[in-house]
Structure 1
Amino acid sequence: MAAITKCKLPVTNLETERDRWRNLYKVLNEPKPEIVPSPRQAVWKKNKSVLWYYPAQEKKYDIPLFLVYSLLNKPYILDISEKNSVVGNLTKQGYDVYMYDWGSPGLEDKDISLDNYLLDYLEMAIRVALRHAKAPEISLVGYCIGGTLSAMLASITDLPIKNLVLAAVPIDYSNFILPDKWVKAIQSGSLSLDQMIDAYEVIPSEFLYATFLALQGFNIGPNVNLVTRGHDHTYVDKWRRMDKWTKDAVTFSGSAFKQMLNDLYKDNKLVKGEMVIGGKKVDLSNIKCSLLVITSTRDELVLESQSLPVMDLVSSEDKTYQLEEAGHVSICLTGQFAFAVAPWLETRSNLN
C-alpha cells in the first residue's frame, strides 16, 4: 500500500492578520494623519510664502542650512514625522536650519514668474536668514526643482553662499522622464501647454497631482506593498503620511509654469547658457563655492543624466558627486537625506 503524504498547509498567524486588516481599515476610513512639525518659528513672510527657522538642539556648526524644496510640492516631506524628519535629524546633529515654504499661489498670483520667485522671494528669504542667524555665510540645500532654482540663484547672486548642495536636481533637460514621443514633441514645439496655461492662469493642484502620478507610470506598487505589509504598524504610518503628502498638492503660478516648460523643458536654456533671470545671464560657471551633487539609484522622476552635467558646468574646485541607494521621494520620507549630506557638510560648516 502506497504511503500517504500529508500536505502541510501554511500556518496563519491570526494576530498578524488582525493587525493587517485593522490597519487597512484605518487607511480607508480614518482621517489622514496629523503632521506635527519639528520645533520652529516663522521669521519672515511674503505673500503666501513662509521662512521657517528650526534651531539646533545643541548648536555645533557656525554655518546654518537653508533648505529649498520644489515649487511643485509642499516641503513638509522634509519634516514628515518625528523619527524620519530630515529637518529634525539635521537639528539633532547640531545645525540651525531654515526652510522656505513657497506657499500655494492664488489667482491673484498668476503673473509671478521664475524671476520673481528667485529674486523677490528666494534671494530675499536667504538674506533674512543670514541676518536672523547673524552668520557671515550660509549653506544652500536645494532639492529637485528647488535645486534647479538654487543653482540658478547661486550663479547670479552676491549672497555669501559657502556650500551648495543639489539633490535629485534637473539641470539638463535634453532628456527627461516622459515617453520619447512626448519629449520630442515638447522640444519641437508641436506639443505646447501655453493655451491651457493661459486659460487656467494658475495651474490647479489636481493637474499637478495627476502629472505626478503619470510620471510614475501610475505605479500600483505602493498599494500592493500596503496590503503585503499591512500588519507592520511603522510601515503603515509611513505609508499614510506619504499618501497624505502626495495628494496634498499645490497650485502653480501660470507665468512661472509657462516659463519653466518653455525655457527648461523645451529649449534647455540652463545648460545652453541662454537662461536670463532679472536681466542677468544664468551662467553656472559663476558658481565657485563647495558643491555636493546627490542622485538616487531608484529615482523615478529625475534621471541621473539630468543632474551630472552640473559637475562640469560649475567652476568649483571642491565638488563631490554622491549616489544614494534610494528613490526620489523615499530619501526624504525616511529621513535618509539628512544622513546623506551630514558627513560632507560637517567639515565645511564652520568658519575658517
Structure 2
Amino acid sequence: MAIESPVRIPALDYEKEMKRWSQVFKILSEDGPKIEHSPRQLVWRKNKTTLWYYAAEEKKYSTPLFFVYSLLNKPYILDISPETSVIAGLTKRGYDVYLLDWGTPGYEDSDISFDTYILDYLEKGVKRALRHSGEEEISVVGYCLGGTIASIFASITDLPIKNLIVATVPIDFSTGIGPEKWLEGMKNGQFEIDRLVDVYGTIPADYIYYGMKSLAPIYVSPYVGLMSRAHDSKYVERWRRMDKWLNDATPFTGAALKQMFNELYKENKLVKGELVIGGKKADLSKIDCPFFAVSSANDSLIAESQSLPIMDLVSSEDKTYKLVEAGHVSLALSGMFAPLVDEWLASRSTKVEDKTN
C-alpha cells in the first residue's frame, strides 16, 4: 500500500544552483581585497612592533584610547573597512586612538616571552602614547588574547590607566571551546608543546592557523554562509575581508607559547593569582579603575565562561559586564563595537571642553 508523505520536497532548480556555485567559485578564486587603513601616523617602533596613532576627526575627549590586540592574528580586523572600522568609528566619535601592532616575529624572536611583550613593548608603548598625547591618563582596550595581556598589564603597571575595557577575553583557562579530550590532554600533560617549540623556536603561521581551525568552527562556518548568500554583494564584500583576515595568521614566539600553554592553559595561573611577570605577581584584584567587559553570545572561539570570572577578580567599584548578540569576529566586523565602547566610555573620559575651562 502506497503512503503519501505530507512533506513536499521542492524540485531542484539546476540553473539557479549552477549560478550560485559559479558565483561561489568566482569569489573563492579571486585575490583577497586590499585593506586600506584609516589615516594614521607611526609614532614609535621597537623591533617588529609598531605604535600607530589615529587622530580624532573632531576631538571631543582628551583621554586617548590605547588598543591591545591578540598575538595570534593581525590587528587590522579593528580597521578592516571604512564602513565598519572600530578605530574609525571611535575617531569619528571624538577619540584619539593608539594601536599597538605586535608585528610578525621571526625565528630570531623565539625568546620573546609574555614578560617581554608586556614590559618591553606594551608598557613602553603606553608611555610613548602618553608622551605623544600630552595627557596624564589613558584608557586601554584589549580584544581577545589582547584583553588577557591588557588585564595582566593593568594589574602590574604603575602607569595611569583611567579605564580598562576588554572584549571576548579569555581569563579562566580551565574551560573553553574545543574537543573535550584535547582540553583534558592539555590539563593533565598528555598533550604538551615544549618539544614542538624547541624544534621550531618561533611557531610558523600555518601551524597557528590550522591549530585554531581544528579547535573553532569560526574557521569553517563562514563558508556555509557564503554558499547561501553569494548573491548579496554587501555580504560578499564583508565575507572576503573576514576570510582574508582569518587566513592571515601570525607566527607565535616559542617562549610566549610555552607560557601561554603551560602557565595559562595547563596551570590556570592567572585566575589563581599565581602568574608572575617581570618579578611581579599579576593579581587582577589590583585593577581598580572603571572596568568594562564585553562577551559575544555567539562566540565560537572564546566561551563566556572563560570571560565572566574577571568580574569577580577585579576590585573596581565601577564595573560593567555586557553580553551582546554577536560572534567573536562579527563584534569587530559588524560596526557595533565602536558605539558600544563609546556608550560606556563617554561619561568616563575627560572632555576637551571641561579641560579647557
Match of residue 101 from structure 1:
101
**1:333 matched residue in structure 2:** 333
Instruction: State the match for 1:112 in structure 2.
Output: 112
CA-CA distance at 1:183 after TM superposition: 1.5
CA deviations 1:83-102 (Å, max 9, x no partner) are 01011111111110111100
Aligned residues: 343
Q: Distance in 2 between matches of 1:47 and 1:93?
A: 32
The 1:218/1:325 distance shift into structure 2, 3 A limit, reads closer
More deviation, 29-38/211-220? 211-220
- TM-fit CA distance, 1:67: 0.7
Write the letter of the residue equivalent to 2:233: H
1:83 lines up with 2:83 in the alignment? yes
Q: Any idea what the Cα deviations from partners look like across 1:296-348, whole Å, max 9, x if unmatched?
A: 10011111111111111111100000111100111111121112211000101
Q: Which residue of 1 aligns with 2:262?
A: 262
2:58 partner SS: coil
Aligned to 2:258, the other structure's residue is in SS state helix
Amino acid at match of 2:244: K
Question: Structure 2 CA distance, aligned partners of 1:174 and 1:21?
Answer: 42
Contact 1:19 1:231 in 2 (8 A): no
Q: Distance in 2 between matches of 1:163 and 1:17?
A: 52
**Contact 2:218–2:301 (8 Å) recurs in 1:** no
- 1:218 CA displacement: 7.4
Give the structure 2 partner of residue 49 of structure 1: 49
Question: Structure 1-normalised TM-score?
Answer: 0.93
> Which residue number corresponds to residue 189 of structure 1?
189
Q: Secondary structure at the match of 1:165?
A: strand
Percent of matched pairs sharing the same residue = 57
Alpha-carbon spacing, 1:128–1:223, altered in 2? closer, same or farther (3 Å): same
- The CA distance in 1 between the partners of 2:133 and 2:261, in whole Å, is 36
Q: The residue matched to 2:342 in structure 1 has which SS?
A: helix
For structure 1, the 5+ residue unaligned runs are 1-6
Task: Tell me if the contact between 1:67 and 1:142 (Cα under 8 Å) persists in the aligned partners.
Answer: yes
Q: Runs of at least 4 residues of structure 1 off by over 6 A?
A: 16-19
Contact 2:114–2:259 (CA<8 Å) still a contact in 1? yes
Map residues 136-151 of structure 1 onto 2, 5 A cutoff.
136-151=136-151
In 1, the alpha carbon distance for the partners of 2:87 and 2:117 equals 23
CA drift of 1:177 comes to: 1.4
Work out the CA distance in 1 between the residues paired with 2:265 and 2:120. Answer: 24
The answer for the alignment partner of 1:208 in structure 2 is 208
AA aligned opposite 1:149: I
SS of 1:335's partner is: coil
**Cross-structure match for 1:3:** none
Moved more, 132-141 or 330-339: 330-339
Deviations 1:222-241 (A, max 9, x none): 21221211111111011111
Gaps of 5+ in 2: 1-7
Aligned alpha-carbon RMSD (Å): 2.0
